[in-house]
């Protein structure tokens, strides 16, 4: 890809999307058209460092607006669409699944329709270069027992939440557009991300911010649920590798090789904050841990087998959990203005809605 070739990124003001845009501009340097509807998790402040950078073109709009997407494709002629735009919080999908079906299923369908029309109108050389990369999740595979082998690209789909089901649906649509229409697609399924700019309803930023303020640290169930944690900048580098060298129509699992129990993630954060931001008033942050009622359908374990992307594309994560989580905690400590800007009334209302009935036990 040349420095002049642009890409269209959907959901590029969200957590993973904004990290991808920032690292793309830094590492690749070609223009990014960033389409985001700026729902609660989309934040223009994530991209503040690009305010004066002509390579970043922000467009406030919906992926389901086919006229808008068609205009952007016609005007900028991107060589790729990287599709992050999604509702992505399991707890929110349990409370209100409608938005997940609308964005993740119908939104992806609309975007595929737009991409298909655009691709059909390209000449031979631009067609050869064009890619549609769909970013998905390991949650489509369901849940693992403690001794089960990790999820591979051939693991059958078994989604257990409305969020996971909506992403599974979008994955199937992307696959169908490759096999039926010849759209040059790529799909990635990643494990749990953490890092800079993550909306503070998710486990790691919620624990960091509550710990700083001496608030209870709500841990679902017995805290023994296991996730494979992937530092967001590693995820971004993997997506760049798939976009550059991935085989058309293929799926690539992206993992951090860092399986951790939820309770161990929380205690690690407590200990880091006791070290980096000690408080005589709060004392040991571990005392703040509060076990609460588990969420419905809580998958017990996720784990990613990432051998395919390593063997085919030479990618593997650069950060282990210990180094990545320290960088993350340090970032939140250094960016309190960003934190306060995103902790709006809508965020506070959600926290109250989700945790009010989960009484500590």
Of 36, 87, 138, 201, the catalytic one is: 138
* Active-site annotation holder among 36, 62, 91, 139: 139
Cα(118)–Cα(73) distance, rounded to whole angstroms? 7
Question: DSSP E strands: which ranges in the chain?
Answer: 7-10, 32-36, 56-60, 80-83, 131-137, 185-190, 192-194, 217-220, 226-231, 251-254, 259-261, 289-292
Task: Give bridge partners of residue 228 from the DSSP assignment.
Answer: 259
Active site residue 141: no
Residues 6+ apart with CB under 8 A from 149: 305
| Cα dihedral across residues 19, 20, 23, 25: positive or negative | negative
Residue 72 tokens, joined:
């952007």
Furthest CA-CA distance within the chain:
67
Q: Is 340 one of the annotated active-site residues of the chain? A: no
Asked whether the beta carbons of 220 and 262 are under 8 A apart, the reply is yes
| 138 tagged catalytic | yes
The active-site residue, picked from 163, 177, 220, 302, is 163
**CA–CA distance, 39 with 27 (Å, rounded to integer):** 28
Residues with catalytic roles: 138-139, 163
């Amino acid at each position: 890809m040349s420095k002049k070739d642009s890409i269209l990124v959907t959901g590029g003001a969200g957590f993973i999307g904004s990290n991808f845009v920032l690292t793309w501009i830094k590492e690749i340097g070609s223009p990014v058209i960033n389409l985001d509807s700026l729902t609660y998790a989309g934040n223009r402040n994530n991209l503040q460092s690009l305010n004066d950078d002509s390579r970043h073109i922000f467009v406030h709009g919906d992926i389901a607006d086919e006229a808008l997407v068609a205009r952007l494709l016609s005007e900028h002629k991107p060589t790729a669409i990287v599709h992050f735009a999604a509702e992505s919080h399991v707890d929110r999908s349990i409370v209100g699944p409608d938005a997940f079906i609308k964005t993740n299923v119908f939104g992806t369908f609309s975007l595929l329709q737009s991409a298909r029309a655009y691709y059909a109108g390209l000449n031979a050389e631009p067609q050869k270069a064009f890619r549609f990369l769909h970013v998905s999740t390991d949650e489509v595979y369901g849940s693992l027992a403690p001794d089960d082998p990790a999820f591979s690209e051939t693991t059958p789909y078994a989604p257990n939440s409305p969020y996971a089901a909506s992403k599974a649906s979008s994955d199937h649509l992307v696959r169908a557009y490759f096999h039926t229409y010849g759209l040059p697609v790529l799909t990635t399924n990643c494990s749990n991300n953490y890092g800079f700019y993550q909306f503070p309803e998710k486990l790691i930023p919620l624990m960091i911010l509550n710990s700083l303020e001496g608030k209870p640290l709500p841990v679902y169930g017995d805290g023994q649920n296991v996730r494979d944690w992937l530092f967001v900048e590693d995820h971004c580098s993997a997506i760049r590798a798939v976009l550059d060298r991935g085989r058309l129509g293929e799926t690539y699992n992206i993992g951090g090789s860092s399986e951790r129990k939820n309770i161990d993630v929380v205690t690690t954060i407590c200990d880091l904050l006791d070290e980096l931001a000690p408080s005589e008033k709060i004392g040991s942050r571990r005392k703040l841990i509060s076990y609460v009622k588990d969420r419905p359908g809580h998958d017990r374990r996720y784990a990613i087998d990432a051998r395919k992307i390593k063997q085919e594309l030479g990618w593997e994560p650069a950060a282990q959990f210990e180094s990545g989580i320290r960088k993350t905690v340090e970032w939140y400590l250094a960016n309190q203005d960003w934190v306060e800007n995103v902790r709006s009334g809508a965020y506070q209302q959600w926290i109250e809605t989700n945790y009010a009935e989960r009484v500590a036990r």
